[in-house]
Structure 1
Amino acid sequence: MRKLRIFLLLIVVGMLIVGCSPDEEETSAPAEDGELSGEITVWAHPFTGEGDAEAKMWEEVIASYEEENGVTVNFEQIPWGNRDQKILTALAAGNGPDVFYAIPDQMPQYASEGLLLELDPYLKDFDMSDFVESSLVSTQWKDKTYGLPILQEAYTFFYNNKIVEAIGEDPENLPTTWAEFEEWSKKAKEEGYYSLSYPGGGSMNGTLYPWLWQNGGKVLTQDDEILINNEQGVETFEFINKMYEEGWIPEDSITAQEHNALWDGGEIMTILGSGITLSNLLAKDQIDFTIAPPLKKEEQVTYGTTGMFVVTKNSDNPSAAAEFVKTVTNSENQRKFNTVTQYIPTRKSAKDIFDDQEYLSQLSEYTQYALPGVIHPKGRSIMPAIQAEVQTMMEGKKTPQEAADAAAEGIQAELDK
């Protein structure tokens, strides 16, 4: 599958190189006011299980664009499975969309290969100040904007109030720093509870990365500078190792994908979660819980994905496509989209859709602290190398310094491919 993906990328890049000279790349410019016409094709994925409600939402969003601009939108909903291959294959065949939905680890891959249209020329008179600043992180590569965000998530700690009270603490006064969380973890252990769910077999976005960012660290810069084994990185490896050695996290944390049974059974004090966690808790109505702000050591930060719409470089109607991206992410349409999908709007002015929902309103406030992962073409492919070294450390086979250094070597190996 990896060979197929690389082959398709080479095909697409070759077509783009043949199809336009360097001079032509600089000539793409927005149409003048009133010049939009023709049609565009838009691809998006199903975001809910409510097909009728979602279809009605898209009808309204698309109608608002077509009426304003006189451009016909051909909308197609494509499945999440094999989306990379479908998009790349379509681009290679010359029948891809003008606009499609992308996530943070896709955008830099496509942008670095020259598959996306830079949107900055189309945003010169466009007010970006209403977007939550953190939501724009994943839309930019090498100081250029390739998408506009429509949704965010924010992962933070959900506390089991029964356990909080059992260790003599107050659910209304939850930890805000690493030091405070350490003290609570010790108390939880003393009372026979695990402090935290740490699914070490899952994504780095839900395990190592948030702690690294909170400690002021980074994995990798967009200029390929590897930072995971600097002082902040090693300290973070040490903290993860300490949680395991002290028994604050479950014994199977090295490879576990989740700890739902332990959490549901009232054995874990804290779980890192987002909107889906909230939905499950409210549906089951078994655990009395409180949601806490993201922790801080050097910085208050957490993980939270961002969803965006991007324009293909070979679009036959780039001005109309760019205008659609601006329209679909405006405040009114974000209200429509996120009311149906129950994701968090990336426009501050649209967050009022959750004003009467206590928990979603709280999570909505935390997107200002949410980073969408490692924004780099290799962001997805470096994860296994990092994960393997964290696991080796937790098994007691490497020190935190050795594991961090080996993770850096693994990242470099990926960069060299």
Structure 2
Amino acid sequence: MNIVHRTKLPLGLTLLMVMALVLSACGTGAPATAPGAADVTEPPAAVDLTAEPTPIVNAFGDCSDPLILWHGLTGTDGAVFAVLLEKFAKDNPDVCLRSEGIPWDTFFQKYPTAVAAGTPPDMVIFHAAEVNQMASEGLMMPMDDVIFADGTLDKADFNPSVIENITYDGKTMAVPFDNHGWLLWYNTEIIENAGLDPDNLPKNGTEFLEWAQKITTDINGKHPTDEGFDKDNVEVWAHEFTWPRYTIPVTLWQFGGDVTNADGTQCLLASPESVAAIQYWHDMMYKYYVAPPAVPGKMWAGDLYKVDRLAFMWEGTWTGGFMKDNPDVAAKTKTAFINSLAPDGTQAVKLDSHIMSIPTGVDEDGVAKAKVLMAYLADNGAFWATSGQVPGKIEVQNQADVQAIESVAMAAKEFNEIGRTSLAHKSFIEIQTAYETAVGNALASADANVEAELKAGCEVIQAILDRP
């Protein structure tokens, strides 16, 4: 399964190969220096820059024809996932499996190539956001007759927004494994030190700016409203523009804007509501000085948060692992629904899902094995919740051991009450890249014209939407 078959693919499949630029993934570190390298007298061997990363392979059970599973869970959550698969193998001794954890960029090269070559894995795990494009390219097998029609799983047991997102041409193409997305993580100590109540958070954008100006402090202890405030040497920030993949849609939706209309025929990125949403972030950075400018090289929000330099952090459910690794930080952290930045206090949050799917071309035996594993993972999501992710099945979310994990319980409640998914579109990668580029340009400097940059981005998006 490690051989990559090089075939000429349609444009749509080729686009899938660059998904690593736009997906959450665990980065790969720089190669370590070989022991004794300084003593080598011969010229070093040439590095093959085209070589693909080695998958993280785990085998469970012993048989000649294992279920082959490909996924991109190669970070801290991958360790939890490996233990869950080990539990599956013990509970299902008649099904052995081979799990290959592959960095997302490589995954999205290998997967369409394997399907095109007629050698797909038996099962894959990726994201709900990619389903529409994957399905439109014929890479996925519908799950209705496989696992839903016979009652093995019930679509009503999952978040309806996710089910809608993974439905293509009236067919349910996958099974949700989890729900993940943005959550508010906030430092109670910083808030209390500013004379504010961490149990009574601001309800709208106006209130938040008032809080933010009291929280933000320069190296001399001055606030943005104080004379002599040093905007170039801020010690504590109120907020930060975190991953655009989630922060942009969340803010647009709060203000009543969006990237496109509901049926994906008209770009709305330059609408008055969308412009107001991005202008709010621009003002926080360059007018009120309560958020660091969104420029290359700025510190990651987690690094600021870890050293008490950030009060409000919009970050993913996976931050639970970060908190486990930093118990002193976790001790002064609480979670809540994403705070609204809109004037009227409208709440909205983007969620996504790791989904389980069977590739096109898998034989009956592979389908049967994948079905067993899918049902097991869906029913045993409580263990997966220890990674910080929210189990896909709502009844599992409500189990006591899941509810005992504060951040997971909060995220589950948030996603079920106000969660939304991104537009399902066959060209969503291009659309996503276009709006992220436009917003990045709009926030790149104090002199940037937000409306003009969003209009330019909308022209690109509209051209994509107008394709046949």
Same fold per superposition (TM over 0.5): yes
Superposed displacement of residue 45, structure 1: 4.1
1:151-182 Cα offsets, whole Å, 9 max, x none, are 12232222222221233210111123333323
SS of equivalent to 2:177: strand
| Letter matched to residue 9 of structure 2 | L
Superposed displacement of residue 365, structure 1: 2.3
Distance of 2:320 and 2:387 partners within structure 1: 14
Mapping of 1:388-399 within 5 angstroms?
Answer: 388-394=437-443, 395-399=445-449
Superposed displacement of residue 235, structure 1: 1.9
Residue 89 of structure 1 corresponds to which residue in structure 2?
Answer: 113
| Letter matched to residue 266 of structure 1 | D
Distance 1:80 1:349, change over 3 A: same
Distance 1:189 1:46, change over 3 A: closer
> Does the 8 Å contact 2:194/2:215 carry over to 1?
yes
1:383 aligns with 2:383: no
Residue 27 of structure 1 corresponds to which residue in structure 2?
Answer: none
Q: Where do 5+ consecutive residues of structure 1 fail to align? A: 14-37
Superposed displacement of residue 117, structure 1: 1.7
Distance of 2:387 and 2:7 partners within structure 1: 33
SS of equivalent to 1:169: coil
TM-score (norm 2): 0.70
Indicate the RMSD between aligned Cα atoms, in angstroms: 3.4
TM-score (norm 1): 0.78
1:254 aligns with 2:295: yes
Distance 1:340 1:43, change over 3 A: farther
1:188-244 Cα offsets, whole Å, 9 max, x none, are 347534220114xxx422332210122233213454432222232122122122212
> Does the 8 Å contact 2:185/2:336 carry over to 1?
yes
> Does the 8 Å contact 1:149/1:308 carry over to 2?
yes
Distance 1:78 1:268, change over 3 A: closer
| Letter matched to residue 188 of structure 1 | I
SS of equivalent to 2:155: coil
Residue 23 of structure 1 corresponds to which residue in structure 2?
Answer: none
1:185 aligns with 2:208: no
Distance of 2:183 and 2:259 partners within structure 1: 20
Match of 2:450 among 387, 400, 414: 400
SS of equivalent to 2:354: strand
Distance 1:279 1:210, change over 3 A: same
Distance of 2:411 and 2:424 partners within structure 1: 23
Residue 227 of structure 1 corresponds to which residue in structure 2?
Answer: 268
* Larger fraction in helix: 1
| Letter matched to residue 303 of structure 1 | K
> Does the 8 Å contact 1:194/1:247 carry over to 2?
no
1:4-32 Cα offsets, whole Å, 9 max, x none, are 9994346989xxxxxxxxxxxxxxxxxxx
Distance of 1:211 and 1:175 partners within structure 2: 16
Distance of 2:272 and 2:139 partners within structure 1: 37
SS of equivalent to 1:116: coil
What is the identity percentage for the equivalent residue pairs of Structure 1 and Structure 2? 20
Superposed displacement of residue 144, structure 1: 3.0
Q: Where do 5+ consecutive residues of structure 2 fail to align? A: 15-64, 224-235
Q: Which has the higher contact order (CA 8 A, sep 6+)?
A: 1
SS of equivalent to 1:195: coil
Distance 1:349 1:341, change over 3 A: same
Residue 241 of structure 1 corresponds to which residue in structure 2?
Answer: 282
Superposed displacement of residue 360, structure 1: 3.1
1:410 aligns with 2:460: yes
Distance of 1:286 and 1:375 partners within structure 2: 40
Match of 1:215 among 255, 268, 292: 255
> Does the 8 Å contact 2:176/2:378 carry over to 1?
no
Superposed displacement of residue 281, structure 1: 3.5
1:124 aligns with 2:149: yes
Distance of 1:308 and 1:282 partners within structure 2: 25
Mapping of 1:148-297 within 5 angstroms?
Answer: 148-189=175-216, 192=223, 193-199=236-242, 203-220=243-260, 221=262, 223-255=264-296, 256=298, 258-287=300-329, 288-296=332-340, 297=342
Distance 1:247 1:143, change over 3 A: farther
1:281-308 Cα offsets, whole Å, 9 max, x none, are 3433444222222234464221333100
| Letter matched to residue 160 of structure 2 | E
